[in-house]
Amino acid sequence: MDRTISQTVGLRKPQRGLGFWNSIAPVLGLFFLAPLTAEYLIGYSSETFTEMLVGLLLLAPTYGGAAIIIRESARRTGRGWPTIILLSLAFGIFMAGLIDHSLFDPSFQITELWHDMPNPTYIPALGISYLDALYFVLGHVIWSISAPIAIIETFVPRSRTVPWLGNLGLAIISLLYILASSILCWGIAIDDQFFPSALQMAGTAIVVMALIALAFSVRLEERSIVARRLPKAWVVGTAAFMLLSLPNIIETACEMLGIPSMFMIDWPGFIINILTVGLLAALTWRWSQSRDWSASHTLSLAGGALLTRVWIAFLLVPFDEAMFYDELVQRTVFLLGVVMLLLLAAWKIRAEKKRYEAWV
């Protein structure tokens, strides 16, 4: 199905009677995929599979609930990915600033936690580290919200650009999100004995509200689609994988060559991260304006992001022999799971394309 057809469907009123597989099933899929891509794929935690399943009781309503709310808000108003991205950015700042407080909490400072040294990108006047803020917020934009939405929508081409839930369903998801995020916020505040200042909270709230207002004031997806050369889908996915992986590749290469890599947690590392993400964003924006942009390109973009998350997790496998094999098995299971998910999504796109060609 090409880009033109997708846009036309996206501007229609919500369809009714889509059935279980085109409405409830994708909601459940997004509800559980978002926390997996947000928290578990990267491998920061040493939890067992059983502990992860228990953790989903809290993380699924938090991340999955947010992803569903963001997607439904965009699709109900006839908007597309520019709105989803801006809302994801608002969620990332809201989550890091007002829920888990990772923007301001010293216990979340990555360089202090991993390298036992003062954070070089820490700005005392704001109480945040620019590099940490970039990691936290960007992680939410890409892996907590955007990538899982893109992948799950692939499985339901009939309802890819229309709402999946009615008012009651959306209200239930919203209540679950509020309850779970409140529990998470309270639990983290008690454990870390930290709460942002009133000024920090007010500043965060203002930025979040501004981003939400901007998200619903732009309709960039209605721009005319141009006749522009577009790389094949696998090239788009490879570009996403390489650019998102580049900072880790540089750091790993330095470690292997015996070259000091501390610059990657200083301002040079911040600049490198900004440039790689900015280049990917610019390329994606340019490519997506082509009339040949398809669901395959969207899937490849999301797939490149997920595969980046998975391979980086292998860098975090502990050297402790007692934990090494358990963690290695866990990372391998997630890698195979992601590959299988992407293959199934690609098969779905191909099957839908053949069905459409037969119909026309």
**Mean pLDDT in the chain?**
86
Look at residue 123 in the predicted model and tell me its pLDDT: 86
Closest CA to 223 of 82, 14, 89: 82
Min mean pLDDT across 1-5, 260-264, 300-304, 333-337 is at 1-5
Predicted confidence (pLDDT) per residue in 131-149, tens digit: 889 999 999 999 999 999 9
Look at residue 225 in the predicted model and tell me its pLDDT: 65
Look at residue 261 in the predicted model and tell me its pLDDT: 86
| CA quadruple 39, 43, 45, 48: dihedral sign | positive
Min mean pLDDT across 78-82, 104-108, 110-114 is at 110-114
Amino acid at residue number 177 = Y
Q: What is the DSSP string of 281-309?
A: HHHHHHHHTBTT-BHHHHHHHHHHHHHHH
- pLDDT of 116 over the 90 cut: no
Task: Quickly state the pLDDT bin for 183 (edges 50, 70, 90).
Answer: very high
Task: Quickly state the pLDDT bin for 101 (edges 50, 70, 90).
Answer: very high
- pLDDT of 120 over the 90 cut: no
More confident residue, 248 or 5: 248
DSSP-derived secondary structure letter, 280 = H
For tokens 């998470």, name the residue.
184
Look at residue 320 in the predicted model and tell me its pLDDT: 58
Burial degree of 191 (CB within 10 A; 0-12, 13-18, 19+):
exposed
Look at residue 5 in the predicted model and tell me its pLDDT: 35
Q: Which pTM was predicted?
A: 0.88
Look at residue 113 in the predicted model and tell me its pLDDT: 43
DSSP-derived secondary structure letter, 2 = B
More confident residue, 298 or 22: 298
Look at residue 357 in the predicted model and tell me its pLDDT: 66
Predicted confidence (pLDDT) per residue in 219-260, tens digit: 655 455 666 788 999 999 999 999 999 999 999 999 899 998
- pLDDT of 80 over the 70 cut: yes
Percent of all residues in the chain with a pLDDT value above 70, rounded to a whole number? 86
Predicted confidence (pLDDT) per residue in 291-318, tens digit: 889 999 999 999 999 999 999 999 887 6
Look at residue 98 in the predicted model and tell me its pLDDT: 94
- pLDDT of 321 over the 90 cut: no
Output the furthest CA–CA distance in the chain (Å, rounded).
63
Phi/psi class of residue 101: alpha, beta or left (left: φ > 0; alpha: ψ in -120 to 50)? Answer: left
Min mean pLDDT across 10-19, 182-191, 236-245 is at 10-19
Min mean pLDDT across 11-20, 152-161, 215-224, 240-249 is at 11-20
Predicted confidence (pLDDT) per residue in 31-55, tens digit: 999 999 999 998 777 778 888 889 9
Predicted confidence (pLDDT) per residue in 192-223, tens digit: 888 999 999 999 999 999 999 999 997 655 45
Phi and psi of 17, rounded to 5°?
A: 70, 40
- Cβ-contact 285, 349 below 8 angstroms: no
Task: Quickly state the pLDDT bin for 117 (edges 50, 70, 90).
Answer: low
